[in-house]
Chain A
């Protein structure tokens, strides 16, 4: 059982990395706080500077926890989608979840400016953004589920998801064309993604969503493994394909939809982490992969966020761009080195 040993090693390494990156993430920021002081705040001791305590408890800690939830959740939903669609290029957003969220947000931000004479209210806030984003992803997800009950072929579902994405993108373009510059900028800012402004209540909601998502995924492990053979084989092994497909889609909807609602669209993590994880663990068994992508996603997201906040400077880079800038070269490097992407 040499394999088990390497798995245990990899899990230990990832857990250590998670702790280290969590530490680095909360000790760096626009205000420089000594490392020792950071940790004494975390462990509940008093510090010489009250504003430091405020920054850590109300800004850095929520942000680091959000990073972990966002990274883990997106990585897990990416894994689910890649296995369900037998496609190494699938990610959490192939079912049109992020486009649904974008549409909701675009309608709120830009629609309210176009129809402002009727509404005349300033509706745009973090909470309302999260609400419309969830409604948007939920509606798209619901349409996909309805369509899923009509089509037998999972590949058709993938294309339908992409088509929903195109339609919503087109509507967003039309809205952008008619809106004013200020509103457009506001929308673009949302699409950059942000994990820095969640309240503890919002984090609690996100924790619940991620928890439910993880539980559902654990119950899907057997079906996911059978799906590695294809749907016909999986059915011959006693898997109820339709039920498994619904559970997997709903799980992805909860995870990716919830995360997009609170943190905006965050690219790349969901696509890349499952591949990176398969490279390290050298297995396709979801019993290993599910916990592994959770850890790996969290580590990578913490790293990206640390880079994005540009330590000791006041400016923050858009997280959505950083995840791609860091992640895409890693995938290219892996491909060049291994010659092929193994799924």
Chain B
């Protein structure tokens, strides 16, 4: 991951530099855009790897680990696929597996890097709705980057707009009210319609 360039990063009021990798593994789980190294893992094996921060030196799973893994699998609706190999899955299914892995790591924060890339609109909506339901039912902080601004407006509690100037942060409704979306793209190409919270391409 990118090291911090400047400023201060804190987690639970403690400087992030003071966490070692093991402590960090108990606090933050990741879903990245990079492909996993071995697609020969089964869904179950992959999700079970999320328990590594809690297991002994050999990585043996206890009953508690197994039940957490099974809960994660049920939550993302993968029960029928859990013995499949990863190379047999579609991109959307694979993304759900990666989310389940992060879930089984059972951290208070889950970071996702563009979780909806390479997915069609239906799967984009499914993944983001899934994240929303995880956030509300498990009380986890879910932070993700995305280019799907319209979907994010509908589903996110708070948004940080990276617009290269003041990077406004707040509830989607507030950001709309403060007209931050209007200036996000060059006006001669894309306009924002505040009533429908959607972007229109100038014809």
Which residues between 145 and 195 of chain B lie within 8 Å of chain A, taking CB atoms? none
Listed residue (A232, A236, A343) with the most chain B CB atoms within 10 angstroms of its CB:
A236
Listed residue (B40, B50, B55) with the most chain A CB atoms within 10 angstroms of its CB:
B40
In the complex, are the beta carbons of B53 and A238 less than 8 A apart?
Answer: yes
A→B interface (CB under 8 Å): 83, 86, 218-219, 221-222, 225-230, 232-233, 235-240, 278, 283-285, 287, 342-343
Cα–Cα, bound, A284→B42 (Å): 9
In the bound complex, residues from chain B placing their C-beta under 8 Å from that of A342 are 39-40, 85, 87
Cα–Cα, bound, A247→B40 (Å): 24
In the bound complex, residues from chain A placing their C-beta under 8 Å from that of B57 are 219, 222
In the complex, are the beta carbons of B37 and A230 less than 8 A apart?
Answer: yes
A232-B34, A342-B87 as given contacts; A226 in contact with B49, CB under 8 Å:
yes
A-B contact pairs, 11 of them (CB 8 A): A83-B38, A228-B38, A230-B32, A230-B37, A233-B36, A233-B49, A236-B24, A238-B24, A278-B40, A284-B45, A343-B40
In the bound complex, residues from chain A placing their C-beta under 8 Å from that of B34 are 230, 232
Write the B6-39 contact mask toward A (1 if CB under 8 angstroms, else 0). 0000000000000001101110111010111111
Name the residue on B nearest A243 (C-beta): B21
In the complex, are the beta carbons of B58 and A236 less than 8 A apart?
Answer: no
Distance of A237 from chain B, by nearest CB (Å): 4
In the complex, are the beta carbons of A283 and B45 less than 8 A apart?
Answer: yes
In the bound complex, residues from chain B placing their C-beta under 8 Å from that of A287 are 58-59
In the complex, are the beta carbons of B25 and A236 less than 8 A apart?
Answer: yes
In the bound complex, residues from chain A placing their C-beta under 8 Å from that of B26 are 238
Cα–Cα, bound, A31→B52 (Å): 55
Cα–Cα, bound, A218→B46 (Å): 20
Name the residue on A nearest B31 (C-beta): A233
Name the residue on A nearest B54 (C-beta): A238
Name the residue on B nearest A236 (C-beta): B30
Cα–Cα, bound, A124→B45 (Å): 52
In the complex, are the beta carbons of B36 and A230 less than 8 A apart?
Answer: yes
Task: Decide if B41 is an interface residue (CB 8 Å cutoff).
Answer: yes
In the bound complex, residues from chain B placing their C-beta under 8 Å from that of A284 are 38, 40-41, 45
Q: Which of B25, B39, B87 contacts A238 (CB 8 A)?
A: B25
Distance of A259 from chain B, by nearest CB (Å): 26
Cα–Cα, bound, A284→B87 (Å): 13
Known A230-B32, A239-B21, A284-B40; further 9 A-B contacts with Cβ < 8 A: A222-B57, A230-B36, A232-B1, A232-B30, A233-B30, A233-B49, A238-B21, A238-B25, A284-B38
Distance of B107 from chain A, by nearest CB (Å): 9
Name the residue on A nearest B55 (C-beta): A222
Distance of A219 from chain B, by nearest CB (Å): 7
Task: Decide if B105 is an interface residue (CB 8 Å cutoff).
Answer: yes
In the bound complex, residues from chain A placing their C-beta under 8 Å from that of B21 are 235, 238-240
- Nearest 10 interchain pairs by C-beta: A238-B25, A86-B37, A238-B22, A228-B38, A222-B59, A237-B52, A236-B30, A342-B40, A238-B53, A230-B37
In the bound complex, residues from chain B placing their C-beta under 8 Å from that of A229 are 36-38, 46, 49
In the bound complex, residues from chain B placing their C-beta under 8 Å from that of A222 are 52, 55, 57-59
In the bound complex, residues from chain B placing their C-beta under 8 Å from that of A226 are 49, 52
Name the residue on A nearest B102 (C-beta): A236
In the complex, are the beta carbons of A236 and B29 less than 8 A apart?
Answer: yes
In the bound complex, residues from chain A placing their C-beta under 8 Å from that of B49 are 225-226, 228-229, 233, 237
Cα–Cα, bound, A236→B55 (Å): 14
In the bound complex, residues from chain A placing their C-beta under 8 Å from that of B29 are 236
A222-B52, A287-B59 as given contacts; A228 in contact with B25, CB under 8 Å:
no
Distance of B110 from chain A, by nearest CB (Å): 11
Cα–Cα, bound, A343→B105 (Å): 24
Distance of B145 from chain A, by nearest CB (Å): 15
In the complex, are the beta carbons of A227 and B37 less than 8 A apart?
Answer: yes
Distance of A338 from chain B, by nearest CB (Å): 12
In the complex, are the beta carbons of A237 and B25 less than 8 A apart?
Answer: yes
